[in-house]
Amino acid sequence: MRSVGVEEELLLVDRASGEPRALSSAVLAAAARKEDEDLFEAELHREQLEFATRPREAMADLARDITRWRAAAADHAERLGATAAALATSPLPVSPTISSGTRHQWLADHFGLTTQEQLTCGCHVHVYVESDEEGVAVLNRIRPWLSVLVALSANSPFWQGKDSGYSSYRSRVWGRWPSAGPVELFEDAAAYHDQVGAMVATGVVRDPGMVYFDARLSAAHPTVEVRVADVCLEPSTTVLLAVLVRGLVETAARQWRAGVPPAAHPVALLRLAAWRAGRSGLDDQLVSPAQMRPVPAESAVEALFAHVRPALEDTGDLAEARDRLDRLLRDGNGARVQREVHRRTGSLREVVAECVRRTHGGA
């Protein structure tokens, strides 16, 4: 069974006002005093914090990790009058603060306002692969399905105090990076690494870590890293995302070994599918991963589930994944929850308060 790890970025917000607070350095210092310093990392802005789970095979173990690290982040922030929220963008207006450090300052110097406006929180899922060759074969075959993951995880409808009109506005902001987005098919692992090297050689990106493909080979781990998702509002959605990504990776690897070629959708269509997913979430049409034609969102989601079903059966995740998916389709993703709270209360502070509660499983 392939191991899975998750990286989540959380927003640090004031307990009273719900406004983002530039406290990552203080939270990291508090974590160090509790010997949790290896769990958390600073991100591009001081208003956010990242943690990474350990590689897990059992989804119950992954769920415990996510719940534990979210709670630990909130506990350290509480001492500073703040807390941690699984919000992919801040509903309330914010003027973000760039973190210190050579890498972050390089981004600020080279990309200007794009860097300043990147206060967004995503979720990256790592799945073990046996080799770079297998990894590139997987990347080739999961491309059409990534837009559906955007729709499932969408959790960023508000931007600078206004409804953006998107379910995942984070995905649109993230797309401003010149190296972000879907990529073409690669002939083999050598071709993949050649392209990454050529991109770094332009000087536009500093190193391979700044090649922000929607899915890529990890530079640090023997994994495929899927990077398209918003940070999910509720821990159960993060677990569902991880299950589906592992299913996609395993299904793609099996197709590769069986000689099944990848779908040859051009990048232009994949970009349109990603835009549609960011706009619609689960509340309108998506672009079908197979035919590249508009279909109801639930149809695209069910197509994804059917695609990975044999892999989920083999890992024993099928029943649990079906239950989590049914609940998500019924109750809505983070974007729908945020908009419903705002419609009911008229208050973006109440939106943040509800999201803080759901970040920790409703506790």
Sequence ranges of the domains in the chain: 4-359
Q: Which residues contact 168 (CB under 8 A, 6 or more apart)?
A: 88, 150, 151, 153, 154, 155, 156, 230, 277, 278, 281, 335
Provide the pLDDT for residue 225. Answer: 98
| CATH no. for 4-359 | 3.30.590.20
Provide the pLDDT for residue 37. Answer: 58
Number of continuous H segments (helices) and E segments (strands) in the chain: 14, 11
Provide the pLDDT for residue 342. Answer: 98
In the chain, which residues have pLDDT < 50?
363
Rg (CA), the chain: 19
Q: Strands of 76-159 (E only): list them.
A: 82-85, 122-128, 158-159
Residue 119: HSE in the Cβ half-sphere, 13 Å Cα cutoff = 29
d(CA 345, CA 333): 19
Q: Which of 341, 343, 349, 309 is nearest to 325 (CA)?
A: 309
d(CA 57, CA 64): 13
CA distances from 151 to 15, 70, 329, 336, 357 (A): 29, 23, 11, 11, 22
**Cβ atoms < 10 Å from Cβ of 309:** 15
Q: Which of helix, strand or coil describes residue 306?
A: helix
Residue 127: HSE in the Cβ half-sphere, 13 Å Cα cutoff = 28
Provide the pLDDT for residue 101. Answer: 86
Provide the pLDDT for residue 34. Answer: 73
Q: Which of 239, 240, 243, 223 is nearest to 315 (CA)?
A: 243
d(CA 162, CA 3): 39
d(CA 7, CA 81): 25
Token pair, residue 34, equals 């509790």
Provide the pLDDT for residue 30. Answer: 86
Provide the pLDDT for residue 286. Answer: 98
329 residue type, one letter: L
The string of pLDDT tens digits covering residues 155-206 is: 999 999 999 999 999 999 999 999 999 999 999 999 999 999 999 999 999 9
